[in-house]
Structure 1
Amino acid sequence: MAWDTEGTKRKILDAAVAEFAAHGPDGTTIERIAKASGINKERIYNYFGGKRDLFARVLRNELAKVAQAVPVESFAVEDIGEYAGRVYDYHRERPELTRLLRWEGLVFDAEVPDEEQRRDYYAHKTAAVSDGQNKGTVTESIDADHMMFLILSLAGWWSAAPQVARMITGPETEAEHARRRASVVTAARRLTQP
């Protein structure tokens, strides 16, 4: 019987996402990922290298997922408020990405894994804002790179600090999530209005 290499890698990555999101790269062990995935440690090392390499791979994969799930080309033709709402939805449904990014910020002092590649990823998003500014659909009063960071923060901070959101706006009910999403959409539109 042939070994399902891709299936094995998926199991490892799924377990690694959960472990790294919960404990960070320094608090997670390959042994714990092996146990959670049902795959032996040696195979994890063979496929992904050390723990830092595996963390970088996990984050790369999670960022690719959000880029595919919430694409953007140009805010000259796309509604920036609806984009922000979709980003809010994504983070609500998959809070692991926000946790992974927070852990990365805590653990890495200087350049992070794949930083150059990720700069390109974010540059594409910033270009969508610039295009909107060039075509008059987005204000030029805030630089495009700052605007993109503000939009992502506006949409993602709810899942980054859920305890603060709960203390300020109440428990996480469907009605409250609908209210939060509506606020994100409205705020993004007002912030970017020319």
Structure 2
Amino acid sequence: MSRDAEATRRRLLEAAREEFAAYGIAGARVERIAAAARSNKAQIYHYFDSKDGLFDAVFDDMCRDTVGAVPIDAENLPEYAGRLFDSYERRPWVQRIATWYRLERAGTGDLLPIVVESNEAKVRAIADAQARGVLPARFPADVLLGLVIHLSGFWSSNVPEFDAVVAGHSTAARRQAVVDAVAALLS
């Protein structure tokens, strides 16, 4: 792919990320995405086949970034949760897009391989650490992973009314709460 084509594709992904984060899959408009990317609708269909294909590309790209930037450390799940929290703070669109994905794609059976493979690898790493006695086995490995993931995203997935109640907590204090909650889960 030429540099210009790759630049156009990247601009479309970035514009789509903002559009999908704000409006979801159903509410997103390819006209707005094309305009924000300084491109046209035909380019969206050329690179991604459809609006759904564009969403899948955005979601896949977002997941690859997260997996690459925040590898699991099964021997230190509290710090892993803290690094996931940091990732959500740097990229606030992640939780919004993931929420739209759950709302609009749940039950479709269209599972993204990067997410499935990543989760399976994380579960294996946790199960291995449990088998070696590094982690407690109170929760099955898959359940423990789910708890860690949800605790890491706790602060970025609340309703505005709860956010207003806890607005006085600094980013460092919120991160520490995630780390401490995962540590307590493991004690």
Could you state the TM-score of these two structures normalised by the residue count of structure 2? 0.92
How far has the Cα of 1:95 moved from its partner? 1.4
Unaligned segments of structure 2, at least 5 residues: none
Secondary structure (helix, strand or coil) at the match of 2:139 reads coil
Give, as a single letter, the amino acid of the residue that structure 2 aligns with 1:38: R
Map of 1:106 onto structure 2? 103
Matching of residues 1-194 of structure 1 within 5 Å: 4-72=4-72, 74-75=73-74, 78-111=75-108, 113-161=110-158, 163-171=160-168, 176-193=170-187
Distance change in 2, residues 1:112/1:14 (3 Å): farther
Sequence identity percentage: 33
Secondary structure (helix, strand or coil) at the match of 2:170 reads helix
Matches of 1:65 and 1:101, distance apart in 2: 14
Matches of 1:185 and 1:103, distance apart in 2: 26
Q: Is the 8 A contact 1:91 1:98 kept in 2?
A: yes
How far has the Cα of 1:129 moved from its partner? 1.3
How far has the Cα of 1:164 moved from its partner? 4.8
Distance change in 2, residues 1:47/1:71 (3 Å): same
Unaligned segments of structure 1, at least 5 residues: none
RMSD: 1.7
Matches of 2:65 and 2:144, distance apart in 1: 22
Q: Residue by residue, what CA displacement relative to the aligned partner does 1:16-71 show, whole Å, maximum 9, x if unpaired?
A: 00000000010001111001101111011101110011101100000000001101
Q: Residue by residue, what CA displacement relative to the aligned partner does 1:78-105 show, whole Å, maximum 9, x if unpaired?
A: 3111111000010011011111110011
Distance change in 2, residues 1:190/1:109 (3 Å): closer
Distance change in 2, residues 1:22/1:81 (3 Å): same
Secondary structure (helix, strand or coil) at the match of 1:4 reads helix
Q: Is the 8 A contact 1:56 1:113 kept in 2?
A: no
Q: Is the 8 A contact 2:60 2:112 kept in 1?
A: no
